[in-house]
Amino acid sequence: MVAAGQPYHEVVQPVSETVFGLLDANGDGQITYDEFRHFYGAMGVGEGHARELFARLGRNPEDSVSREEAMVLTDQYFVGDDPEAPGNWFFGAI
């Protein structure tokens, strides 16, 4: 839709907000490693893989991802042009 001319913020931002809401299980505005692990566990991703993905986001299991940081990561995934950007791993190896 963005490629067809629809404004970016109308297309990608709602998707990013939805994903954040799914991951932030307790609604505190932060995605903890446990929330990340539980979400990806429900998707059939093993704990070791979830730990690797969280690390690729530049986080340790003691860290969390804020809403603002998550928006940057999902922007990197959806429209970034840096193949090394951490956000490329926000949705796993897909």
Instruction: Convert the pLDDT of each residue in 45-74 to its tens digit.
Output: 888 888 899 999 989 889 999 999 999 998
Of 5, 94, 4, 2, the C-alpha closest to 49 is 94
Per-residue pLDDT of 5-35, as tens digits, reads 667 677 778 888 998 999 999 999 999 999 9
Into which CATH architecture does domain 8-79 fall? Orthogonal Bundle (1.10)
What is the pLDDT, as a whole number, of residue 77?
87
DSSP-based helix, strand, coil % in the chain, nearest 5: 55, 5, 35
How far apart are alpha carbons 16 and 78 in whole angstroms?
A: 9
Q: What is the pTM of this model?
A: 0.81
Amino acid 41: pLDDT: 87
**Strand pairing partners for 31?**
65
Instruction: Name the residue ranges covered by the structural domains of the chain.
Output: 8-79
